[in-house]
Amino acid sequence: MDTANNKVLLSMEDISVSFYTHRGIVKAVRHLNLKINKGDTLALVGESGCGKSVTAHTINQLIPIPPGKIESGKVIFEGRDLLKLSDKEIASLRGERISMIFQEPMTSLNPVFKIGDQIADVFMTHQDIKREEALAKTVRLLEMVKIPAPERRIKDYPHQLSGGMRQRVMIAMALASPEPGLLIADEPTTALDVTIQAQILRLIADLKRDINMSVLLITHDMGVVAETADRVIVMYAGRKMEEANVYSLFDNPVHPYTQGLLNSLPSNEKYTDSNRLEAINGTIPDLLTIGDECPFENRCPHAMPICREPFPSETKIDDDHSVWCHFVEGKDASPSSKLVYDQGRE
């Protein structure tokens, strides 16, 4: 972990986001802190409703307000609090310094314009250049994201491309700026076939290395995390449960939820000879009625009376590994303790 503060590209401090619906207040994200260092990939991982996408949308201010409301906190990007910027200022940051790619690239591309023109538009929005020059840059960009025959492809419409190609176009569009800073990738490979997913993950990793871009990766898939992330935050029902360096998290997952999540994976090596999974019982609590206690309490195998008290504070496992859990707090949670998790497959 870095000590010099100037390496931090983006930090979120005490972010809480709620949605005021006709059924009540949905507390989507609560008291979240995170930091993304320059050139790093931070993964936010969790199941549906854990608040991972809301967190990402808060950065870009894509939360619809109302019904959404940012209750507290700051989003510091290169020294500025994004939540205090005007609409115009944030619009100029979007696409230039902070770009986003989504799960379903078909719905993110305009079906009636050629892909080359759509990418060139991004160049022309943020830079004072002519269309011809923008198109030339577009071709170079498509080469970079490994689209074959880019001179011909710029004349294609989105429906003429496969799902993997469309996601490559989206990535190219996200890079269409002189200085890409942060790429927010919201489930970028969830809609893709597994061989295509492998290609896209490899591409994001290569680009990140080549142009020193930072990535905020939103995913539900622990496998995707293992393949791409540098740091990981495990979220559950709006709360941060565990945060660690990717190697530390997979070697020694400490939070009972993280352990349950890894145990739920049928690909986990411990299941080669067993024919039942160690599933987590129960379901995610209703975010409308949730209180201040640990939201995992009703499903946790280690739940204790104290778990109904307010949410626990941070327990440091080591320099680069923290967990928020009453059970761990009261225990020796060093890597040598019995909480050590059987290693996943290589």
Task: Point out which span in 20-28, 127-135, 195-203, 300-308 binds another protein (CB under 8 A).
Answer: 195-203
Name which position in 83, 265, 306, 340 contacts another protein (CB under 8 A): 265
Diameter of the chain measured on Cα atoms: 67
Which residue lies nearer to another protein by CB, 282 or 310? 282
Do residues 184 and 208 lie in contact, with contact meaning Cβ atoms separated by under 8 Å?
no
Which residue lies nearer to another protein by CB, 12 or 222? 222
Name which position in 85, 129, 196, 340 contacts another protein (CB under 8 A): 196
Task: Point out which span in 32-40, 71-79, 82-90, 254-262 binds another protein (CB under 8 A).
Answer: 254-262
Nearest Cα to Cα of residue 225 among 240, 244, 209, 210:
244
**Is residue 30 helix, strand or coil?**
strand
Q: Which of residues 272-301 bind another protein (CB under 8 A)?
A: 275-281, 283-284
Task: Point out which span in 16-24, 121-129, 157-165, 328-336 binds another protein (CB under 8 A).
Answer: 157-165
Which residue lies nearer to another protein by CB, 116 or 253? 253
- Phi first, then psi, for residue 85 (nearest 5°) are -75, 155
Q: How far is the CB of 295 from another protein (least distance, A)?
A: 13
Strand partners, 74: 13
Neighbours of 281 (CB within 10 A): 9
User: How many residues belong to the chain?
Assistant: 346
DSSP 330: T
Which residue lies nearer to another protein by CB, 98 or 235? 235
**Token pair belonging to 139:** 């071709």
Which residue lies nearer to another protein by CB, 101 or 262? 262
Which residue lies nearer to another protein by CB, 103 or 268? 268
Name which position in 92, 271, 298, 306 contacts another protein (CB under 8 A): 271
List C-alpha distances in Å: 121 to 14, 83, 113, 207. Answer: 36, 26, 11, 22
Strand order through the sheet with 231-236: 98-101, 182-186, 214-219, 41-45, 231-236, 239-245, 321-323, 315-318
Q: Which of residues 161-190 bind another protein (CB under 8 A)?
A: 162, 164-165
Q: Which residues bind another protein (CB under 8 A)?
A: 47-48, 162, 164-165, 193-199, 201-202, 220-227, 229, 246-247, 250-251, 260-269, 271, 275-281, 283-284, 343-346
